[in-house]
A and B are shown apart, each in its own frame.
Chain A
Amino acid sequence: MKKIDQKEKAVVIIGSGAGGGTMAYELTKAGIPCVCLEAGPFHKKEDYVNDEWGAFLQMAWLDTRTTSGNWRVAKDFSGLPTWLCKAVGGTTTHWAGATPRFMDYEFKTKSTYGKVKGASLLDWPVSLKDMEPYYTRAEDAIGSTHRGGRPALPANNNYKVFAEGAKRVGYKYYATGPYGTNAAPYDGRPGSIQDGFNFQGDKNGSKWSTAKREIPRALQTNLLDLRTDSHVTRITHDKNGMVDGVIYRDVDGNEQRQEAKVVILSGNSIESPRLLLMSDSSMFPDGLANSSGEVGRNYMRHLTGSMYARFEKPVNFYRGETMAGFCADEVKHNPKRGFVGGYYMETLALGPAFLGSFLEPGGWGREFTNMMDGYENIAGMWIVGEDMPQSKNRITLNTDVKDQYGNPVPNVHFDEHPNDIAMRTYAYEKAEDLYNSVGAVQTWRTPPYPSTHNLGTNRMSAKPKDGVVNKWGRTHDIKNLYIADGSVMTTGAAANPTLTITALSIRFSENVISEIKKGNI
């Protein structure tokens, strides 16, 4: 592996997930050496385990965090607001694989939805037209089914119930994808063996992640210095206000410094704003890149909820690809339903261990165990829709609580917007109709899990006063500091975000490469 001297002014990427992993691949492919600092270890596919809690403890980000606000996660999982990963590949190790694109108007929700009280909607500085070529490249990288001539996954048991229910209630737009796990061998990865442990890393290697594709390929160029177990705690700057290095803790907890000419921050929507806020100085008393005051604000986590339904006959929904079932009929904005925006329905299956803990956090008694007792006969879906950005929903530094390095932990504040609640209630009713149409004997409205989609805390904006980065992911304030992760999303759309994060990172990388080659940074 390439070694870059810590004193050499390097291109430094913080994080190796959908954003950072993609950046590392695109930059090294273009001949630019990079240092990639990843807070977690490098698990290979043989390290992954077919065990829900075992895998959770292996890869989840479990550093101390605090929560506030009226969302139920703050009560049920007060120290675990998110379900993200600390590992090479970031949350692509855990992601399910759904790869819908944003729709055109989802890049301009302020113009489309009009004024929504309490919401800080803003149009993106990029359009679907700008994004289309990058979406195609991202789908080809991921190997999305139903796209680029790639075959669909077969119907598993959970999908059979879901699709028939969808058909009976009059929905049309259901399919087994688009989905980021191979149905047939593609790009060096095998077809799915339907092992049912997609969230646990996928031992078979059929699911795309940057730990399986981008990072190994970047290492093959011999231009990537990948440092695992390296947790960045500060970005430093020179007297001209340009970033010039990062401070991090190595695997032994010792403080290290890497000199930098360019820093690309890809730490996700919690850690990226946290790092900017922790990097305050006399020149930047509110943190780096924060002249707008928007760093950490407009935190979104998608409207989510799950519907589990029990039937008289066996389903065995745990067998097969976890989320290979998709229905788009409710995704279009239609305010006549009583809310703005829309949502997707996607199949979801959990083992008894997770279902017990997440079906109804805190729940107990006969009604609960009736559901669990019928485990073999359960089908399930996840509801994922657009939630409203709100300025007060934000990541701040909690100086009362310190992490393992003595740094303030991030506090995640989230209050649900009335639009979120209206959409979730509507979606639960529709999901009940769907399962009742195929003979459900019991249904269960499961509340949101700790957030897997974390978005919007360094939003992209046309004007510097409205956000943190421009349409190339470059911070408005500091020209050699870029951000490439879900935090740059101006608004959340209904789509699962990984495809868009990957597509944005490919797009941003072109600007980084061109600016470096021109000698501008």
Chain B
Amino acid sequence: MNISRRNFIFGSIASSVFISLWDIDPSKAEIKIGDNPEDKKLLMKMCRDVYPHDRFPEGPYEKTAADVISKGNKGSENKAMLSEGIESLKKVKYGKMNFKKSTKYLKKIESSKFFQHVRSTTVVTLYNDPEVWGLLGYEGASFDKGGYINRGFNDLDWLPEPRIEEHPDLAAFLKADPNRLAAIEEMIKTN
């Protein structure tokens, strides 16, 4: 199964899910586009500008940029896309742009294949990273720990305890003729 088929399956927006999760065997391309510290730094900045989380350390963005590079090296078409994309970032001195300017620039190139590659890879890889789960306060897999039944599934204490049973009038409400119900509501409103 090649990349274009994966793109086809999921559609352009979410294609990277398949690329991210099905390709456990990264291509051993001879020339790796973007696989040098300078380019990687540039892509890390782009990943962070597209999905900015000020409190996240560099680690998750570094892993995400590595994924952007790895997937961008699959096939000659992708390589050309990644190479052109990085060159255009350099040309506009993207590395020196502040967040506001970066966002404005990214908005301009939003429909490009390069932007879509970076964005769609990042949204899957970044938010599927257990390090990010920890940062966001998501505890993830729980079955082996006995679920959340004794670990806070109902620990919210800033609102009152709600009723869990159905309202005694529910059965009558569901049975009522809808036209009659509407007429009664109207009557209440106008009175």
Chain A residues at the B interface, C-beta cutoff of 8 Å: 49-51, 53-54, 57, 62, 64, 75-80, 101, 103-105, 112, 146, 152-157, 159-161, 163-164, 167, 172-177, 192-197, 203-204, 313-316, 318-320, 328, 331-336, 351-353, 355-357, 361-362, 364-366, 368-369, 372-373, 375-376, 438
Contact = CB atoms under 8 A, between A and B. Distances in A.
A195 B55 CA distance: 28
Contact of A356 (B21, B127, B156): B127
Residue from the set B51, B146, B175, B176 with the largest chain A CB neighbour count within 10 Å = B51
Interface string B22-40: 1000000000000000000
B149 A194 contact: yes
Residue from the set A101, A334, A362, A368 with the largest chain B CB neighbour count within 10 Å = A362
B11 A314 contact: no
Nearest to B16: A357
Interface stretch (B73-81, B85-93, B129-137): B129-137
Given A333-B182, A373-B136, 20 more contacts: A57-B21, A76-B11, A78-B10, A80-B10, A155-B162, A163-B162, A164-B160, A172-B173, A174-B163, A192-B149, A193-B143, A318-B138, A320-B148, A332-B181, A334-B181, A334-B182, A362-B119, A366-B103, A375-B136, A438-B159
Contacts of B126: 356
B141 interface: yes
Nearest to A102: B174
Nearest to B182: A334
Given A175-B163, A197-B143, A78 B11 contact: yes
Contacts of A54: 21
17 contacts: A50-B141, A156-B153, A157-B156, A163-B162, A172-B167, A173-B169, A174-B163, A175-B163, A193-B146, A193-B148, A196-B142, A333-B182, A334-B181, A372-B51, A372-B127, A373-B53, A438-B159
B154 A369 contact: no
Interface string B1-27: 000000011111110010001100000
A204 B55 contact: no
A333 B53 contact: no
Nearest to B138: A352
Contact of B22 (A57, A103, A331, A376): A57
Interface string B112-145: 0000000100011011100011001111111110
B7 to A, nearest CB: 8
Contact of B9 (A62, A164, A195, A313): A62
Bin the interface of chain B by size: 35 or more
A167 to B, nearest CB: 7
A125 B112 CA distance: 52
- Interface secondary structure of A, over-half rule: loop
Contact of B142 (A50, A57, A172, A366): A50
A375 B137 contact: yes
A53 B141 CA distance: 12
Contact of A161 (B103, B132, B159): B159
A194 B164 CA distance: 16
Given A64-B8, A160-B154, A314-B156, A334 B178 contact: yes
Contacts of A362: 13, 119
A167 B119 contact: no
A407 to B, nearest CB: 17
A365 B154 contact: no
Contacts of B127: 352-353, 355-357, 372
Given A79-B11, A319-B152, A176 B136 contact: no
A167 B169 CA distance: 15
B59 interface: no
Nearest to B126: A356
A100 B11 CA distance: 33
Contact of B163 (A49, A161, A163, A204): A163
Contacts of A164: 159-160, 162
Contacts of B14: 76-77, 80, 357, 361
A156 B155 CA distance: 8
Interface of B: 8-14, 17, 21-22, 50-53, 55, 103, 119, 123-124, 126-128, 132-133, 136-144, 146-149, 151-156, 158-167, 169-170, 173-179, 181-182, 185-186
A51 B162 CA distance: 30
A55 to B, nearest CB: 11
Given A77-B11, A316-B156, A320-B153, A328 B138 contact: no
Going nearest first, the 7 A-B pairs with the smallest beta carbon separation are A193-B147, A356-B127, A163-B162, A50-B141, A195-B147, A78-B11, A320-B153
B164 A153 contact: yes
A314 B188 CA distance: 39
A401 to B, nearest CB: 9
A164 B158 CA distance: 11
B143 A195 contact: yes
B178 A155 contact: no
A170 to B, nearest CB: 12
A328 B174 contact: yes
A518 B138 CA distance: 58
Given A53-B17, A57-B21, A328-B173, A173 B53 contact: no
Contacts of A79: 8-11
Contact of B166 (A157, A173, A197): A173
A80 B138 contact: no
A318 B139 CA distance: 9
B169 A172 contact: yes
Contacts of B137: 314, 316, 375-376
